């Protein structure tokens, strides 16, 4: 059995680390520490192998005011940083790549600007460009999880595979930040039916649920993003990563 990669999430709004329920700052926005760079260093010290950063200012306002923070985060930790939020065109892609991130998760641009998505894939390749699927009752949601597209997520995912996408970041919006348990079936189905790798995001509350993902890692769901449960100390971080990365005996 392969290892499961556990990725802490750092959500940024107005230059601060926050946690938002269902990815909607207006619904609930709790500050967890004013300095995202220090938070990145903390997760690195806790043995994280990658960090996922969400720029809510970028996603909601197409703002680039947090670019310097992202750049400082990348230069402050020796582990890869994955980014999402506010990417609308090829110029945005190039600017965020210049900060030093290792991988970019694109949502709205892929739906509205496929021409630039194709160009980004040509320049950076499918290892660095992945598609974020924000899903609400089988429907794809974009624009900072505010706009319904009317498009079935699986139909859309298969279109992305035809363009060369090899990985999806999957979020069931109803589970994100709600501490109600993860939608494992959704992530597994997408991985199996598209024959791609999937990073799951949303709903993981404890070690048992983490082990549920470890048990299906060979299906293609090889990594999980965890936010609120980590910030609220739902399990000891060092034990968390040891369990996730240990081989079955």
What pTM did the predictor assign?
0.88
- State yes or no: pLDDT of 215 exceeds 70: yes
Domain that holds residue 143: 5-245
C-alpha dist (Å) from residue 8 to 83, 90, 181, 187, 241: 12, 27, 17, 18, 11
Sequence-separated (6 or more) residues with CB below 8 Å from residue 178:
21, 22, 203
Mean pLDDT of 93-111: 96
Q: Is the pLDDT of residue 133 over 90?
A: yes
Biggest CA-to-CA distance, the chain: 49
* Set 55, 134, 172, 189: catalytic member: 134
**What CATH number should be reported for the domain holding residue 112?**
3.20.20.70
Distance CA 40, CA 11 (A): 11
Given 11, 92, 172, 222, the catalytic residue: 11
Which is nearest to 59 in space by CA: 91, 26, 23, 30? 23
- Tell me the angle at which helices 114-124 and 153-163 cross, rounded to the nearest 10 degrees: 50
Q: Which pLDDT belongs to residue 135?
A: 95
Query: What's the structural domain count of the chain?
Result: 1
For residue 212, indicate whether it is catalytic: no
237 pLDDT tier (thresholds 50, 70, 90):
low
11 included as an active-site residue: yes
pLDDT score, position 207: 86
Q: In degrees, to the nearest 5, what angle opens at C-alpha 10 toward C-alphas 62 and 148?
A: 45
Question: What are the pLDDT digits (tens) for 43-91?
Answer: 888 889 999 999 988 777 888 889 999 999 999 999 999 999 989 999 9
């Amino acid at each position: 059995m392969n290892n499961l990669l556990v990725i802490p999430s750092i959500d940024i709004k107005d230059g601060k680390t926050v946690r938002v329920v269902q990815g909607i700052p207006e619904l609930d926005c709790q500050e967890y520490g004013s300095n995202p760079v220090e938070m990145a260093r903390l997760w690195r010290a806790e043995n994280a192998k990658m960090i996922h950063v969400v720029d809510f200012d970028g996603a909601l306002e197409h703002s680039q005011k947090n670019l310097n923070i992202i750049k400082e985060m990348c230069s402050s930790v020796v582990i890869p940083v994955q980014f999402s939020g506010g990417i609308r065109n090829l110029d945005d892609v190039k600017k965020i790549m210049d900060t030093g991130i290792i991988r970019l998760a694109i949502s709205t641009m892929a739906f509205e600007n496929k021409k630039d998505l194709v160009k980004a894939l040509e320049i950076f390749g499918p290892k660095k460009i992945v598609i974020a699927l924000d899903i609400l009752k089988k429907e794809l949601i974009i624009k900072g999880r505010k706009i319904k597209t009317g498009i079935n997520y699986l139909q859309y995912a298969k279109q992305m595979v035809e363009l060369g996408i090899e990985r999806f970041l999957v979020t069931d919006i109803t589970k994100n930040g709600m501490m109600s348990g993860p939608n494992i079936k959704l992530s597994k189905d997408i991985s199996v039916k598209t024959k791609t790798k999937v990073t799951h995001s949303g709903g993981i509350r404890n070690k048992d649920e983490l082990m549920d993902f470890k048990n299906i890692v060979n299906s293609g769901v090889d990594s999980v993003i965890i936010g609120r449960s980590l910030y609220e100390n739902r399990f000891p971080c060092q034990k968390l990563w040891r369990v996730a990365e240990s081989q079955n005996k």
